[in-house]
Amino acid sequence: MRKLNFYYSLMLLAVGVMAASCSAPQEKEKTLKEAFDGKFLMGCAINVEQSSGRDVVGDSLIALHFNSIVAENCMKCEKIHPEENVYFWDDADRFVQFGEAHNMFIVGHCLIWHSQCAPWFFVDEKGGLVSAEVLKQRMKDHISTIVGRYKGRIKGWDVVNEAIMDDGSYRDTYFYQILGEEFIPFAFQCAHEADPDAELYLNDYSMAKPGKREAYVKLIGQLKEKGIRLDAIGIQAHAGMDYPDLQEMEQSIQAFIATGTDVMFTELDINALPNVFEDGHENAAVEERFEYEQRMNPYVEGMTEEAQRLWDSRVDGMLGLALKYHEHFRRVCVWGLCDQQSWLNDWPMPGRTNYPLLFDRNYQLKPVMKKYVK
């Protein structure tokens, strides 16, 4: 009898353990794309190491967590169209193949941008600036060749990048000098003709600035009046510890939405380091450069708890806006996967140790994101 009781107790214990393990299953963490499913696409800018398969760990994380990718560099004019009749497709082809292999919404970046534009673009055979007619022909060739090659495969294009200054004036680029404001609708028309189904975007940084906000609202209205296709405004969202002012950012989001146009955060990162610019101005102008100074690189061994708390709250603030306006937010795209891969380690000062992205230097999702994926 005693023996029977022993076996009976053992059986009860086993059943109990089984029941416990069935009734309290370990919840599997969601991926980022699952966490924001139904709200917006979760995108990542990928570099050539990743699209070519050399960053094996990075690639597996990108495939797991993101349902959209954008080309960080390989589709910029100087890379993809370095000379008038020379296109370099290898990296861009691999980028698109990577996105297709993982069933992602693929975004092309960027067709018309004053920066990283190949030098031949604006110059005639005598070294002078080309005429308006020639520039339009070159723009058309550039846009229709690239968009045409990936027709139906790249689903959205940053057509014009960073055309407006913080005060709302047009940036004084060669595109603007030669063609005036007309270069923007013209670029959109060329892109639309090359792939009528592709989504088309305007994209810019410091969008929380009132001058820029007003200029874009006006520009959206002008494009609409002309019947030009414009699907969304790309708010780059290169943020820092004290910028943008989230209320100003919200006002910009509201203002863009009020025009009937959707919005996206297209290049989200949060610069954890001290602002190098004397006037504290926020920007992402790649041509701005400063000499290295140690005092501007305080977190070589890791962020302080206080800095980390502030950084976390900035992430929450930006994601909070995207979630609040999710009905009009198409995509939140981070500008790189892991901290060590960010452009912000070398801009605007080279050689700093920055912490701007959602994954750390060990490819781990940062703790602040745990509440979203739980």
Q: Which residues are part of the catalytic machinery?
A: 162, 267
Residue 116 within binding range of ligand G3I, rule CB under 6 A: yes
236 binds ligand G3I (CB under 6 A): yes
For ligand G3I, which stretch binds (CB under 6 A), given 6-14, 70-78, 92-100, 177-185? Answer: 70-78
Minimum distance, C-beta of residue 264 to ligand G3I, in the bound complex (Å)? 13
By CB under 6 A, what part of segment 241-280 binds ligand G3I? 267
Distance, CA of 257 to CA of 65 (rounded, Å): 27
> SS3 helix, strand, coil % of the chain, rounded to 5?
45, 15, 40
CB of 207 to ligand G3I, least distance (A): 12
Choice between 283 and 308, CB closer to ligand G3I: 283
Q: Tell me if 72 contacts ligand G3I by CB under 6 A.
A: yes
Which of 30, 34, 63, 73 lies at the binding interface for ligand G3I (CB under 6 A)?
Answer: 73
Q: What residues contact 47, with CB distance under 8 A and at least 6 apart? A: 55, 72, 73, 336, 341
Told to check if 286 binds ligand G3I by CB under 6 A, we report yes
CB neighbours of residue 14 within 10 Å = 10
The single-letter code of the amino acid at 83 is E
| Separation of alpha carbons 334 and 59, rounded Å | 15
The β-bridge partners of 263 are 233, 329
State residue 105 phi and psi, 5-degree precision: -80, 115
List 105, 343, 355, 372, residue binding ligand G3I (CB under 6 A): 343
Is 72 or 166 the residue whose CB approaches ligand G3I more closely?
A: 72
Q: Which stretch binds ligand G3I (CB under 6 A): 72-80, 215-223, 306-314, 319-327?
A: 72-80
Report the residue number, 260 or 351, with the smaller CB distance to ligand G3I: 351
Cis amide prior to 210 (ω within 30 degrees): no
Are the C-beta atoms of residues 178 and 133 closer than 8 Å to each other?
A: no
Please list, in sequence order, all residues whose beta carbon lies within 8 angstroms of the beta carbon of residue 362, skipping any fewer than 6 positions away: none
What residues line the site for ligand G3I (CB under 6 A)? Answer: 72-73, 76, 116, 161, 236, 267, 284, 286, 343
